[in-house]
Amino acid sequence: RGLPVPEGDFAAVAADGVTVARLPGTAPRFELIAECARQIDLWDALAPVCAWGDADDWARLDLRAGIPSVYTATSEAFVPQMANLQLLNGVSFTKGCYTGQEVVARMQYLGTLKRRMYWAEVQTQTPPQPGDALESPASTSEQGAGRVVDARRSGEGRYELLAVVEIAAAETGEVRLGADGPQLKLQAPPDGFLAAAG
């Protein structure tokens, strides 16, 4: 429709009063940033080839792309590397001072990552919530096996979620939503884990 298309994930190009940003995912996704009147014109032009979605649809696509969201219940629960933000270029290890920089740098250069974020599916009638505890018989941590980062319904009694989980517990394959809850089917994020991530 006459707009430039960025080539890579998280790339952006601007033309004719519109910034087009490309987001990762199983299908190409784009954010169009423009003045309100220009947005209306864009929607009219793109409506024949686009489908309506809602916030849950967009959040589910973020989950599938391994993009975490931070909520009040999880705002202090993870260091960025646990949520795989270094894999998304969401952390700068060269930028000047910022809150938490020492902890982030220490984990990157001196620490061993013991938890990381996984994509998962679970069957339950109770919607998982950000911050919900995960349990595993393999967990040796007083903090539990992990926490839900975000979750969205994907069908009747089925949810997709991102969860930060102890690596050792994830490798056993038995991680549950709560002590007696349903078992999670864990998978690595879409682009896998970098060797440098721990």
Instruction: Render the chain in DSSP notation, one character per residue.
Output: ------SSTT-EEEETTEEEEEE-SSS-EEEEE--HHHHHHHHHHHGGG-----HHHHHHHHHHHT-----GGGTTT--GGGGTGGGGT---SSS---TTHHHHHHHHHT----EEEEEEEEE-SS---TT-EEE-TT---TT-SEEEEEEEEEETTEEEEEEEEEHHHHHHT--EESTTSPBPEEE--TT---GGG-
Q: Are 48 and 79 members of one domain?
A: no
Instruction: Confirm whether pTM is higher than 0.75.
Output: yes
In a domain, 98, yes or no: yes
In a domain, 1, yes or no: no
- Domain containing 175 equals 72-197
Q: Are 77 and 148 members of one domain?
A: yes
| Number of domains the chain is built from | 2
Q: Are 102 and 22 members of one domain?
A: no
pLDDT of res. 52: 76
Q: Are 38 and 130 members of one domain?
A: no
Q: Are 30 and 88 members of one domain?
A: no
Q: What is the pLDDT along the chain (198 residues), one digit of tens a residue?
A: 678 899 888 899 999 899 999 988 877 788 999 999 999 999 898 888 887 788 888 899 999 888 999 899 998 888 777 887 777 777 766 666 655 556 565 556 556 778 889 999 999 999 999 999 999 998 888 888 999 999 999 999 999 999 999 999 999 989 999 988 999 999 987 666 644 333
Q: Are 119 and 169 members of one domain?
A: yes
In a domain, 36, yes or no: yes
